[in-house]
Structure 1
Amino acid sequence: MAISSRRKPPILYVIDEEFVMSDRGDEQEGPESAIPAGDPDEAVRLFHHYRRLMAQILGYEEELPDPALEEDLVAVEEDLGVSPPPDLRALYGIADGDGDLINPLFDRQDWLPLAEIGGQDDEWLEIAREWRYEPWRRTVFDAQPPNTVRRSPLRPSWIRFADDTGGNWLAVDMDPAPNGRPGQVIAVGVDYTEGPAYVADSVTTFLRRLVEALERGDYSRHDESLWIDADLPDRTDRQVLYSDDPPSYAWARQSGPGVQEVRVSGVENCAFLAEMPDVCSLALSSKGSPDLTPLADCPVEFLELDAESVDLTAPARNRELRSLSVTCARPVELAPLRSAPNLWALDISTAPVTDIATVTELDGLRFLEVTQDQWRKLSELGDLPSLAVVGIHPHRPERNGGTPWLTAFDEPPSPTP
């Protein structure tokens, strides 16, 4: 039955509850160097020096917990299935975490005792992946420097050893990307669902930066607490760019490489993308019919198009394209998408489509967002791809922020005339 009432909400039908989005980190190669950059002896020396400097500044020395037992370290390694790097392991030979210190040792983040490693509550990640929050519109971005950390929100070989008590952690990465090193320190958690942040090549280097900051006097004292300015990142550095003006070569060149998300208006053509080789999330709006030819060679994974008319030929040649959302006034042809090898998510709910039967030929499609009328036409055709999630709007939606989805864990109903 076709639904016309504007009071009816859009519904997400989750057909396959076991389906999860692919993890781009799984597709990356391992590190060129499997040797950790840290030095356990140097880490121990820096640790003691750091503690002495803090005591000089505070006027007293805080007492550390007892060292961790070797058998406890071994037990943690067995539980995790991976060993921490030698420099972090050596520090646990000095103390089993921060204990009740007023000043946590790792840049105001509590150093966890062994008993708490591996026992974190990851509800934050489960929430971020809920379909009603539209994860198909998000991309996990690359850390900076590029290709050092795998593009994952969380991995089993990221050993979280310190936390900020707000859902974020420091972790040692024992499964880095090609340009990384085992044991590098990264930041992960609720503020890093769009990609982890690279912090340092090792715990040793992390400590060295804290020591150097204290020696420079780059700190401030708040009652009994020290706030150290060690120039460590606290967010992902993906360089988001927004522009309400038509983008130009000069604008793109000034922005330079490293920009990973772009949202621009007034687009006539996409030639500016030649100066932005790292863009993987792109939203373009135009009052006309922009030339999308450069999109064939860009690493864009999520593409949102809003134009008078759209030709999907060039975007469909892009092997990186995973998720596509199309809004247009004139009818759009989906046939080019047959050649899009990795497209798994498609939103055509705000586009009139000339050849909706093409959807039945997109074998890799797992998510589809359509209007009730579009779903009726597709249901009549049958032979749909193995869809895991289908979003159905009772009418053509207005794009004003997120969609107020209702979620149903069931097959979508087959409309009747």
Structure 2
Amino acid sequence: MTTGLQAAARRLARGVRTGHTGPAVVWLRIGGGATRITYPVGVEVDLEPDFFDAKSALTELLPVPSGSRPLVVELVVHESGRFELAHSTDLESESRVVLDEDFRLPNHPLPGMALPPGSAHTGAPTDPAVLAEVSALFEEFVERYEQIKGRPPALRPGYSEQEIAAAEADLGVRLPEDLRALYRMTRDDAAETGLLGRFSPYPLDDVVEYHQPGSLGWNDGPFDDAVVFESNPPGTIKRLSRNDWWITFATDFAMNNLAVDLDPAEHGRPGQVFEYGRDVPGPPEYVAGSVTELLEGVVTALREGDYEDEDPESDYLQTHAGSAGGGFGERVYHDFGSRDLAEVVETAHDAQRLVLNDAVELDPAALAPLRTLRELRINRAKLVVPSVADLPALECLAVEAGRIDLDALAHQQTLWDLKLAGSAEAVDLTVLRTLPSLTRLDLSGVEAADLAPLADLPGLRVLVLNAQQWDALRRAGLRPPRLAAAERAGTSSLRDTADWTEWLTGHRLPLHTVTGTTK
């Protein structure tokens, strides 16, 4: 008897066109409201339009977790029409497993951070002096807007003290006094009248909804590009991927947002404002020292006639107050060849991320003057001698080269993320024992002379090896201690990944299967 799941799997398999190089293999990672589709390297797969309709139907029948763990599905379709569908909720992907859900890479804190001093929710009314100052700025904005447009701005009346206090109780924190005062004036700016420049306040219900545990986090997974860069000015915003006490309160309706920072860095101030979102590819960008300062900038721009009113009939009015700075230092050099690294030092003195492509020979020791460099990526070089001990901020090094002199890495103190690839010669891993901060390591693109040192790295939490390297470790009985996540690059089947995961964990991993034929 055919079950609903078997029928859905058959429909999915019928949407796969098999080639002439063996079975077609499709992997699906379903989670977080999205589906990622991948294939093994070298396998020819052609998906018919019906495949995607069938995928939606199949997803409704499979146990997609509601949390962060995805559903991983493998579909194998043979030329004969026979198919096998396997699925698991215990893997991160077809080649990855997370062993410690609470692990985070450096500068990626979990929710549950301590409440900053002076930020406790008290229910007390807004400071009268701050309320008077913000009220005066708001009233001047309304007056000048009306002079420009010939009508008052379409701003809804503000919240009561009780409504603001109720929102703060839900947030678990007291909002800055000037933001409270702004919400006393108006609930939002849905008409985009320019009250906060190109940004508009969210209603308080949205502020509460968007401030969820784990929200406002960038690349928090163990396999993500996870170096957290410094915002400008340095020491103003904490160098973190997320913070419980960054409160999103405004939007430009184009996937960019403003947040107030209740937990600033050493040189910052509570209540400062920063921007993050689609147009901010690096760390948060500092905007203003406070909501009051942001409002003052808008009113000053209107006083000076520094605004854009392209459509007088529209409510929209634009000033450029509240625009963030120019981003963080990132430099990419293509076709570097035999050029001198002194050129890089001269042109990239403020770089935090540096990419060098297609160099002949490189010794990064010449980059020592780059005191803020945190990530260095070298692609397709011929020879690299990674002398990086004098780069005091370096956290991530990725080297792809025909030859890598790994001994030059010895005793680098800050490096926690290392990826090696491309070497024509087997690399000696002994030097890894001298790297005290090493947390994540990817050796899947090189041959190692001896994998034994991997069992002597107690700080190593994320390890990426290819299938042959993992098999060699297993045969030698060497299982790296304290791994929080691992990847088996170049895996060929979900069953192989499940078997490897069982060896890593010592626990059976259920793999559910459905078989049938497309005919």
| TM-score bracket for this pair, using the shorter chain length | 0.7 to 0.9
The equivalent position to 2:246 in structure 1, one of 135, 144, 158, is 158
Instruction: Give the C-alpha shift of residue 308 in structure 1.
Output: 2.5
What value does the CA root-mean-square deviation take over the aligned residues? 3.7
> Residues 146-184 of structure 1: CA distance to partner in whole angstroms, max 9, x if unpaired?
121112233211111112334432111000111111000
Quick one: which amino acid aligns to residue 233 of structure 2? P
Partner of 1:279: 373
Partner of 2:457: 362
The equivalent position to 1:248 in structure 2, one of 341, 346, 349, is 341
Which runs of no fewer than 5 residues in structure 2 stay unpaired?
Answer: 1-39, 45-73, 75-92, 120-128, 505-519
Instruction: Give the C-alpha shift of residue 413 in structure 1.
Output: 5.7
Partner of 1:49: 140
Which runs of no fewer than 5 residues in structure 1 stay unpaired?
Answer: 397-404
Partner of 1:371: 466
The equivalent position to 1:226 in structure 2, one of 294, 303, 317, is 317
Quick one: which amino acid aligns to residue 356 of structure 2? V
Partner of 2:167: 76
Matched, 1:305 2:399: yes
Using structure 1 for the length normalisation, give the TM-score: 0.82
Using structure 2 for the length normalisation, give the TM-score: 0.67
Quick one: which amino acid aligns to residue 56 of structure 1? Q
1:296 and 1:324 map into 2 onto residues whose CA distance is: 16
The equivalent position to 1:115 in structure 2, one of 187, 199, 205, is 205
Q: Among the aligned pairs, what percent are the same residue?
A: 28
Pairing 1:22-101 to 2, within 5 Å after superposition: 22=105, 24=107, 41-98=132-189, 100-101=190-191
Matched, 1:350 2:445: yes
The equivalent position to 1:202 in structure 2, one of 290, 313, 327, is 290
> Residues 251-307 of structure 1: CA distance to partner in whole angstroms, max 9, x if unpaired?
3223322x1110013252214422321111110246443333244433111110122
> Residues 134-154 of structure 1: CA distance to partner in whole angstroms, max 9, x if unpaired?
40x332211111121112233
Matched, 1:7 2:43: yes
Instruction: Give the C-alpha shift of residue 115 in structure 1.
Output: 2.3
The equivalent position to 1:264 in structure 2, one of 356, 371, 374, is 356
1:221 and 1:190 map into 2 onto residues whose CA distance is: 25
Matched, 1:180 2:268: yes
Contact 2:388 2:412 in 1 (8 A): no
2:175 and 2:366 map into 1 onto residues whose CA distance is: 44
Instruction: Give the C-alpha shift of residue 359 in structure 1.
Output: 0.8
Contact 1:11 1:391 in 2 (8 A): no
Bigger CA drift: 333-342 or 39-48?
A: 39-48
Contact 1:249 1:275 in 2 (8 A): no
Instruction: Give the C-alpha shift of residue 185 in structure 1.
Output: 0.2
Instruction: Give the C-alpha shift of residue 102 in structure 1.
Output: 4.3
Matched, 1:330 2:413: no
2:41 and 2:146 map into 1 onto residues whose CA distance is: 69
Instruction: Give the C-alpha shift of residue 42 in structure 1.
Output: 3.4
Structure number, greater radius of gyration: 2
Give the direction of change, closer, same or farther, for the CA distance of 1:39–1:261 in structure 2 (3 Å limit).
farther
In the alignment of these two chains, the number of paired residues is 395
Quick one: which amino acid aligns to residue 501 of structure 2? P
Contact 1:40 1:88 in 2 (8 A): no
2:490 and 2:341 map into 1 onto residues whose CA distance is: 39
Matched, 1:341 2:424: no
Contact 1:14 1:409 in 2 (8 A): no
2:220 and 2:200 map into 1 onto residues whose CA distance is: 27
